[in-house]
Structure 1
């Protein structure tokens, strides 16, 4: 009989292949990685799946979402009206909805924190504007996972719990729109690979130290025949290792002719610390956040950390604030809003340290940019009498005015310039 199944005599019937049901030598059993590992009692583990809940177990993702949502929710938000004397803050119901409490169940901070959490996790924040004949009554958050966005003709409609809402009544801030203009990209889905690696390293480190720091081991030596015998040997070795760890013993016996060898690298050789730190940088890139705001000060110094705060406001927080303001202005006041608008106040994030703040306010008051009371208001200090007027330093005058000032001081006679040569002065006096 030919073991390859061909080459025998033509008169002989084809030989049936030998069947070994309990071994991987069975030709009907594919020798794949999963089959090979399962035969020896080892389950092949793929990278963990990523959901919003699992992604939030990664500290860097949690820090990014929490930091951005709280920062944007903290920014003062007011509605204004343009007048000939400058912007005037709106009062009444509009101020209550925008700045105070958007609805009966949430204040402004809680509402905006929830809104931005949806943007920085699933990738979209939605809210419905409740209107009455008197105007805007409230703004209610919408769970983006329950919303279906579709286009009817040239108009976008949001379907939530069987009801349809026109785009004019829905505040919609996506993380990034897809080419069709309806669907969106979310940061967690788009950064799945980076988050998977972070989850896998978290799981590996947890399992490694939970196992007493013992890496996966391979038994080298004459293996027993049959799958059941191999599993019993594996169980015996595991019990021996567990017993040694439980009794705080550093040595346990191995039968003659066998040897235990570690499989893979230990965390130090695998650069676990460096790899986990790199994943923080990868997640920071996903949100365009300076790593210092994810508590990674590896490359942080006193000077560049302060500069990163300016970069944060200019290139991240300010942009998201502009996106929210644009939606509010369009949906609350319409395209022809006239002289009404909504705006964040970013000054609080740019205050800096005490010395720099006081120097900037002093310069603004002395240069007639701010009134003293306006500068005091920025520091939450009460107004004072005679503080509602502009001041300017009088020591700096145009160059053409310097000659006139000198003539006034000397009664119209301009004195000759001083001679710095003392010997010449003494000779002139003697003559």
Structure 2
């Protein structure tokens, strides 16, 4: 049998996609050595990631990767992304109860080596990744509703000894802190109704209808003004902001039934630069005492969970298109899951639902147009209490999902095939 010269095989593999490269490692020892040579001598896996993984997914993976300086980061990200295309066959799950004793948990956020946990009494506790307690603090004696790690530059600093943490309280107070062994208060914003964070940017709506976009300015001359305002707009009554979300240079708002967008990646004039993207029509309007909670994912997906007085719950999914174009889907969550959804989480191409009886459902979503709530790839029973939050981080061996109820935090470790 005639074989090709090594130089020819190397040249061919140099132009192949990542899936071909992964499979080539299993041909024989020569092919495996060639792939490893290309891995060491070129940025071939970074090229594969940027060419094959959708950009809005890749941002998630690169931000949540545990060790930013890992030499094999892009190879590992690509391998994990490829494995997750088939959750049923390629991913094995193991669930562990975290050892930390935290009464009345309200929120958990993860970044790099740090885990931040908020509670009903207003305390925030910072743990390292093996659950050793590093520090605890309380700025208000009321419920923490959200915790977000922020970055002061585009590269992120989640693996350094200095991180920014934004704490949201039910009183409408946002507290920016820094953690360098202990938590230090840097800035406070009052009367906040809604907010969203993307990297070093913060968008928030205050009572009175003003929406502001700011960014972290680490070297700002006045220490008490570490947030530098970029732009703002006003929403006047009877308009109401249902939800807002920042993603990749664009802030998206759902105001009544109108979707508006505002670009914030440069200094822009307020109000005049707001675009009216589309008006959406809700399927559910006339149910008695309907409660609706909406979430914007990235800049083109809106999912609303609507619960009527008889506890029947529906999911409305809006896929936004160009200029007044959108498509929508409606699902009855009780009919499909025999439970009400209490938590939704999107990471890359993986969508996760948590319900009020302690289950989580994994969906691989290559396209929202084909999404069906019935077609989940994996169901995991966490416990008996409603799921209130999910966060994630990943490394070479696995992704770890931190699934939270009011009483426990479970680590759901998703193992993917190791690269030989």
TM-score, normalised relative to structure 2? 0.23
Structure having the larger proportion of residues in strand? 2
Which structure would you say has the larger Rg? 1
Structure having the larger proportion of residues in helix? 1
TM-score, normalised relative to structure 1? 0.23
